[in-house]
């Protein structure tokens, strides 16, 4: 079904979905279409990867900025990181002259996680809503708050200062008491989100398995909070114009993903947006983005794809095998191909005679699909294990709750349980499990698919060093974790491989990840640009132009990394020992 943004009549229009699916493009084009109908529209973005300044080619501030060329359209570009810094200053201010500097540093790190950024961004959004709710016909919000954030804001105990005296909890949000005066304003905003007459939530996904799974997870989380007026947009569907075999294969993979759409999404109203042959920047392209008739005008380009002559996974493997052992961590956002790269490197190492322990936090079915069923027959040198995030988080949460059950009342325990349900807690629990595996590996390589972020590493390190000086801690630190942190900071022992796609959002998110790691004194030598069309011969106009659009992002990656490996798009997803081994061969 075609998506027609002018059919939307709701005051609040939320867009959500995993990074790189096109939320910002869809949100901006929706806002433009509504403004062109004579409505007064405010577009708010809290996604740091979606630069409204570039999209609209004008400087947009935290306060509503009129968009030149579109009468009635205003935009506010909220910087979540700046909002988080302001929030941290607000919370930490009273303690700066009271606690030692080391203690202040730990609290700052406790407030450096994604959850704090999201709370701070929601605070900024709520202020804009309260100040402008009667001024605009529509308020379009790019990147909706998660179910975790909304649940936390609904817990009354979160506003009492409980977190200031919690000596064993695993909080990544830090004290909310700094925002207690806004509790009523927050409650009003959360109530508006669940009002179907005022609010519509639009889930955006690509026709890819991981993006659809993420949309399904968000849908369930938000439905549980009575945000039930949900719609689904599938962005980037290839409408073939030729019989090109690579285009056919690309289309077949999309159709297979859509044929197996998660059951949670089947009942939602569903719309498709065609794959575009260009990067969406500038008012002209934003106007055209949701009009398929315009695409034919942009499909023909006489430019040639630049020959970049980058290295491949074989070169990366050559670099790794200059030493007999080490820890290899593949990192990056969901959907960029970390599991495939990690499995290929593990198989490549085993094929060269090294002992390898490949461990992952991805669901077991995904790893089995990538590796096939013949691992033991192919090489006795490769051991595969899976860290179950849910199991590890449950084990860790039980430990923390057990340490607090005698100190807290019922409301306090409910808050602690919700705080332990945050992504930061899972990351810490998974990291502890990873530490156990590395400690057991005396010889050979350990390859980890989906590694912890720099924030988690600093959080664990700070808690170990300063827990006696501050009245908050993330719990006891096992010896395996204490011993592992110095090892991860040693470039002779640990190799971080950042995986990305040659597109705007994945590259920007990977850049932030690298900076996060550098704060934790961990350097990444290699970046892998996955699923590139640079070396693929195709006569399909859309795919030809996408190959051209990749150039600027690949150049950005080469500027950010010491070494860059390019992995071409494959007609069939690499699965099984033989296909994965080919990725690492010359």
Are 290 and 33 in contact by the 8 Å Cβ rule? The answer is yes
Which entry of 16, 25, 351, 473 is annotated as an active-site residue? 25
Which entry of 19, 22, 326, 348 is annotated as an active-site residue? 22
Can you name the residues that pair with 386 across neighbouring β-strands?
360
Which entry of 23, 157, 276, 338 is annotated as an active-site residue? 23
* 24 a catalytic residue: yes
* 276 a catalytic residue: no
Report helix, strand or coil for 152.
helix
* 16 a catalytic residue: no
Dist CA 20 CA 24 (whole Å): 9
* 25 a catalytic residue: yes
* 161 a catalytic residue: no
Are 35 and 68 in contact by the 8 Å Cβ rule? The answer is no
Which entry of 24, 251, 422, 450 is annotated as an active-site residue? 24
SS (H, E, C) 510-540: HHHHHHHHHHCCCCEEEEEEEEECCCCCCCC
Task: Say which residue the tokens 């294990």 belong to.
Answer: 385
* 442 a catalytic residue: no
Q: What are the strands, taking DSSP E only, across 339-433?
A: 356-360, 382-386
**With 0-12 CB in 10 A as exposed, 13-18 as middle and 19+ as buried, what is 203?**
buried
* 50 a catalytic residue: no
Long-range contacts of 248-252 (CB under 8 A, 24+ apart): 249/571, 249/572, 250/540, 250/543, 250/569, 250/571
Please provide the DSSP assignment of 213-277 as one string: HHHHHHHHHHHTTT---EEEEEEEE----S--HHHHHHHHHHHHHHHT--HHHHTS-EEEEEPPS
Which entry of 16, 18, 19, 20 is annotated as an active-site residue? 20
Which entry of 16, 17, 19, 47 is annotated as an active-site residue? 47
Q: Which residues are catalytic?
A: 20, 22-25, 47, 505
């Amino acid at each position: 079904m075609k998506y027609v943004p002018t059919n939307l009549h709701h005051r609040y229009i939320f867009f959500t979905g995993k990074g790189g699916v096109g939320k910002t493009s869809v949100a901006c084009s929706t806002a433009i279409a509504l403004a062109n109908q004579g409505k007064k529209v405010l577009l708010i973005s809290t996604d740091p990867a979606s630069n409204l300044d570039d999209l609209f080619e004008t400087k947009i501030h935290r306060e509503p900025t009129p968009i030149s060329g579109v009468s009635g359209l205003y935009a506010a570009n909220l910087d979540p990181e700046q909002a988080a810094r302001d929030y941290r200053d607000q919370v930490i201010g009273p303690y700066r002259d009271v606690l030692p500097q080391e203690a202040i540093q730990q609290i700052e790190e406790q407030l450096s996680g994604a959850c704090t950024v999201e709370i701070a961004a929601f605070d900024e959004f709520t202020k804009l809503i309260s100040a402008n709710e009667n001024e605009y016909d529509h308020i379009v919000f790019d990147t909706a708050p998660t179910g975790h954030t909304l649940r936390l804001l609904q817990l009354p105990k979160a506003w009492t200062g409980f977190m200031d005296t919690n000596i064993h909890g695993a909080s990544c949000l830090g004290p909310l008491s700094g925002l207690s005066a806004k509790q009523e304003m927050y409650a009003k905003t959360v109530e508006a989100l669940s009002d179907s007459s005022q609010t519509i939530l639009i889930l955006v996904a690509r026709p890819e398995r991981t993006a659809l799974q993420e949309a399904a997870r968000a849908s369930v989380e938000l439905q549980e909070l009575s945000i039930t007026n949900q719609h689904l947009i599938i962005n980037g569907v290839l409408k073939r114009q030729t019989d090109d075999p690579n285009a056919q294969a690309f289309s077949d993979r999309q159709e297979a993903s859509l044929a197996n759409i998660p059951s949670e999404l089947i009942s939602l109203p569903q719309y498709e947006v065609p794959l575009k042959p260009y990067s969406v920047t500038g008012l002209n392209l934003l106007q055209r983005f949701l009009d398929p008739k315009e695409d034919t005008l942009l499909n023909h380009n006489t430019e040639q794809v630049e020959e970049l002559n980058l290295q491949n996974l074989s070169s990366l493997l050559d670099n790794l095998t200059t030493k007999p052992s080490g820890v290899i961590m593949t990192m990056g956002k969901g959907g960029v191909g970390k599991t495939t790269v990690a499995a290929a490197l593990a198989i490549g190492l085993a094929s060269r005679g090294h002992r390898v322990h490949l461990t992952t936090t991805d669901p077991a079915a995904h790893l089995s699909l990538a590796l096939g069923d013949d691992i033991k027959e192919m090489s006795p040198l490769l051991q595969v294990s899976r860290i179950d995030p849910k199991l590890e988080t449950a084990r860790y949460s039980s430990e923390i709750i057990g340490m607090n059950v005698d100190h807290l009342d019922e409301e306090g325990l409910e808050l602690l349980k919700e705080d332990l349900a945050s992504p930061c807690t899972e990351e810490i629990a998974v990291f502890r499990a990873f530490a156990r595996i590395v400690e057991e590996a005396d010889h050979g390589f350990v390859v980890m698919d989906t590694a912890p972020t720099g924030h988690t590493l600093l959080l664990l390190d700070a808690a170990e060093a300063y827990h006696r000086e501050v009245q908050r801690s993330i719990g006891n630190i096992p010896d395996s974790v204490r011993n592992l942190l110095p090892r991860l900071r040693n470039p002779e022992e640990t190799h971080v491989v950042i995986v990305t796609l040659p597109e705007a959002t994945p590259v920007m998110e990977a850049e932030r990840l690298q900076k996060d790691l550098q704060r934790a004194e961990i350097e990444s030598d290699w970046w892998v640009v996955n699923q590139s069309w640079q070396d693929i011969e195709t006569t399909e106009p859309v795919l030809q132009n996408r190959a051209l659009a990749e150039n600027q992002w690949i150049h950005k990656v080469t500027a950010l990394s010491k070494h860059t490996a390019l992995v071409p798009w494959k007609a069939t997803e690499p699965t099984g020992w033989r296909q994965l081994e080919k990725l690492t061969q010359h």
